[in-house]
């Protein structure tokens, strides 16, 4: 038995191999030790490499508290995918061990029928907390708060409070207790007591005499931006969450706000990259992943065809000046990059609350000034390259120096104008979409690409048709 244990626990072997061997051995104690010994990142990766049956077996065999610890280390989407494959009774046992905010996040990722089946089998108090948190939007104080906090009536004494802490020590030891909250008979918040204050106080002193009155708090419907500003202004680790009538319903922690802000940034980056659902893992089933991506790629086909249709208008110009085709991808890519830089700045300022949809004109002026400078410098460089190429290729139609010079000028002008257009579009489209209550992260990229390609192709071939083509036809 000991030889087998040594072989399984060999640190030189991949964690995935070790985990599979321990699962097959049926040694629950060793399995639990292995899970706790791994870093959260390594454990999340290892679980994602297991097949569906192995994942179910892992969470079923582990004790509920260890399974809950493991689930908490996974992303909410990944955890929900595994949880929904379990029997509702097993899933409920695991979720009962999680903090209330984590319970609500995972339940929120499940199908309605699966979620209800699990909630019905959870402990009544835990189920009530999940239903409470589910009423609120995810990125609000109500959606992010926890319901595990200690509250006492203001007429109690310090001795009563200490007795209650001792009596319920088994329950309270899992709470992250730094503050004790004082309420009246209607659950309205009146004050807060620091844990250290009760240690230094006589048992007969009334709680209301040592509490800090009118404590800082947030409202249950405060959004993530409001919460970020609040915690930037103060340095508390946690604050109470109140309903409009002053009733205390939860506590929100600084760490949870920081995590939510990070999650929002991740979702925005995913949407900017074309993952419109905002969350995707390669552990997810292939066909749903493909469908999610097609929902973004499909409409882009028609947008790209629209941009490409400009080429049909200048068929004769392309035949006589084929060198222009070389600069099409350069113009499209460089101006697209400039526009994406403007998109990124607008998205950042929207997230920080530094800009509003009404600030479009200010954004146009600021971006146009940058576009003019960068467009002129990059356009001059590209125009000189075009001039050098066209005059050195030995093509008869470019034998005249003035023709080669005009071609370089066409490339330069197209670059300058399109760069200005790109940064203006990139800077303003997120504001317009935000004002229309649409997702700026998802739609800004396709709109920017289509407009800059349309404008760029029209400029490069239109200017060439107007300025260069007459000289070539005359030769």
Q: What's the CATH code, domain 286-474?
A: 1.10.357.20
Helices 124-134 and 100-109: crossing angle in degrees, nearest 10, is: 70
* Band (375; pLDDT cuts 50, 70, 90): confident
Q: What is the pLDDT of residues 166-190, one digit of tens each?
A: 887 777 766 766 788 988 888 899 8
> Are the CB atoms for 181 and 150 separated by under 8 Å?
yes
Least confident of 270-274, 287-291, 417-421, 463-467: 270-274
pLDDT computed for residue 395 by the predictor: 45
What is the Cβ-side half-sphere exposure of residue 371, based on CA atoms within 13 angstroms?
Answer: 30
User: What is the model's pLDDT at position 283?
Assistant: 63
Of the candidates 46, 45, 59, the residue with the CA atom closest to the CA atom of residue 20: 46
Fold (CATH) for 151-272:
CBS-domain (3.10.580)
pLDDT of 320 > 90? The answer is no
**Contact 80/106 with Cβ under 8 angstroms?**
yes
The pLDDT mean for the chain works out to 82
273 pLDDT band, cuts 50/70/90, is low
Answer whether residue 393 shows pLDDT above 60.
no
Write down the pLDDT at residue 370: 92
Tokens 């940064």 belong to residue: 423
Confidence of residue 9 (pLDDT cuts 50, 70, 90): low
For 197, other C-beta atoms within 10 Å of its C-beta total: 17
pLDDT digits (tens, 9 = 90+) for 200-221: 788 888 888 888 888 899 999 9
Checking if the pLDDT of 5 tops 70, the result is no
CB 164 within 8 A of CB 221: no
- Residue 396: pLDDT above 50? no
- DSSP structure string for 413-433: HHHHHHHHHHHHHHHHHHHHH
pLDDT at 164 over 80: yes
Residue 356's nearest CA partner among 274, 432, 438, 280 is 432
**For position 72, what pLDDT does the model report?**
86
How much is the average pLDDT of 232-251? Answer: 89
* Threshold 0.85, pTM exceeds: no
Interstrand relation of 151-153 and 179-183 (parallel, antiparallel or unpaired): parallel
Q: What's the rounded Cα separation, in Å, for the pair 338 and 308?
A: 21
Contact by Cβ (8 Å): 439, 271 = yes
Is the pLDDT confidence value at 7 over 50? no
Which CATH class name applies to 2-135? Answer: mainly alpha
Region 100-123: mean pLDDT is 87
Q: Which two tokens stand for residue 270?
A: 């995913």
CA 29 to CA 60: how far, in whole Å?
A: 14
Q: What is the pLDDT of residue 99?
A: 86
pLDDT number for residue 401 = 65
CB 381 within 8 A of CB 446: no
Instruction: Show the tokens assigned to 452.
Output: 């800059």
CB 147 within 8 A of CB 250: yes
Q: What are the residue ranges spanned by the domains of the chain?
A: 2-135, 151-272, 286-474
Which tens digit of pLDDT belongs to each residue from 45-99? 888 888 888 888 999 999 998 999 888 888 887 888 889 889 999 999 999 988 8
Beta bridge partners of 191: 182, 213
Give the percent of the chain with pLDDT over 70: 87
Q: What is the 3-state secondary structure (H, E, C) of 37-90?
A: HCCHHHHHHHHHHCCHHHHHHHHHHCCHHHHHHHHHHCCHHHHHHHHCCCCHHH
| Sheet containing 248-253: order of strands | 218-219, 238-242, 248-253
The two beta strands, 179-183 and 189-194, are antiparallel
Q: 151-272: same fold as 2-135?
A: no
The whole-number pLDDT of residue 2 equals 42
Q: In what order do the strands lie in the sheet with 179-183?
A: 151-153, 179-183, 189-194, 212-213
154-163, 296-305, 403-412, 439-448 — which one is most confidently predicted on average?
A: 154-163
């Amino acid at each position: 038995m000991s030889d087998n244990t040594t072989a399984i626990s060999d640190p030189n072997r991949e964690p995935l191999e070790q985990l599979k061997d321990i699962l097959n051995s049926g040694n629950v104690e060793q399995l639990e030790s292995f899970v706790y010994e791994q870093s959260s990142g390594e454990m999340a990766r290892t679980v994602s490499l297991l097949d569906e049956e192995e994942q179910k077996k892992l969470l079923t065999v582990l004790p509920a508290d260890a399974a809950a610890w493991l689930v908490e280390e996974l992303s909410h989407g990944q955890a929900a995918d595994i949880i929904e494959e379990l029997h509702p009774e097993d899933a409920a046992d695991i979720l009962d061990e999680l903090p209330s905010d984590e319970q609500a996040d995972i339940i929120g990722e499940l199908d309605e029928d699966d979620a209800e089946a699990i909630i019905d089998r959870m402990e009544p108090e835990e189920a009530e907390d999940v239903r409470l948190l589910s009423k609120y939007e995810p990125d609000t104080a109500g959606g992010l708060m926890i319901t595990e906090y200690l509250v006492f009536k203001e007429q109690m004494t310090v001795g009563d409070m200490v007795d209650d802490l001792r009596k319920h020590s088994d329950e309270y030891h899992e709470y992250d207790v730094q503050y004790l909250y004082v309420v009246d008979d209607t659950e309205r918040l009146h004050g807060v007591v620091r844990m250290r204050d009760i240690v230094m106080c006589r048992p007969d002193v009334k709680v209301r005499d040592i509490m800090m009155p009118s404590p800082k708090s947030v409202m249950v419907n405060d959004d993530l931006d409001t919460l970020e500003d609040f915690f930037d202004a103060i340095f508390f680790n946690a604050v109470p969450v109140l309903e409009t009538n002053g009733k205390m319903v939860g506590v929100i922690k600084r760490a949870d706000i920081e995590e939510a802000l990070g999650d929002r940034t991740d979702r925005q980056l995913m949407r900017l990259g074309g993952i419109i659902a905002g969350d995707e893992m390669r552990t997810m089933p292939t066909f749903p992943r493909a469908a999610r991506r097609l929902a973004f790629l499909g409409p882009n086909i028609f947008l790209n065809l629209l941009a490409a249709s400009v080429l049909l208008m200048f068929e004769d110009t392309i035949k006589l000046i084929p060198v222009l085709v070389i600069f099409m991808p350069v113009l499209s890519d460089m101006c697209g990059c400039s526009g994406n830089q403007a998109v990124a700045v607008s998205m950042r300022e929207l997230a920080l609350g530094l800009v509003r949809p009404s600030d479009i004109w200010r954004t146009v002026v600021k971006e146009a000034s940058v576009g003019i400078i960068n467009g002129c410098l990059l356009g001059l460089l590209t125009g000189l390259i075009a001039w050098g190429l066209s005059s050195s290729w030995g093509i008869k139609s470019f034998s005249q120096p003035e023709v080669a010079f005009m071609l370089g000028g066409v490339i330069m002008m197209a670059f300058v104008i399109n760069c200005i257009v790109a940064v203006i579009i990139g800077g303003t489209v997120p504001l317009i979409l935000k004002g229309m209550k649409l997702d700026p992260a998802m739609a800004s990229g396709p709109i920017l690409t289509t407009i800059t390609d349309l404008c760029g192709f029209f400029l490069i071939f239109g200017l060439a048709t107007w300025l260069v083509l007459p000289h070539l036809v005359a030769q």
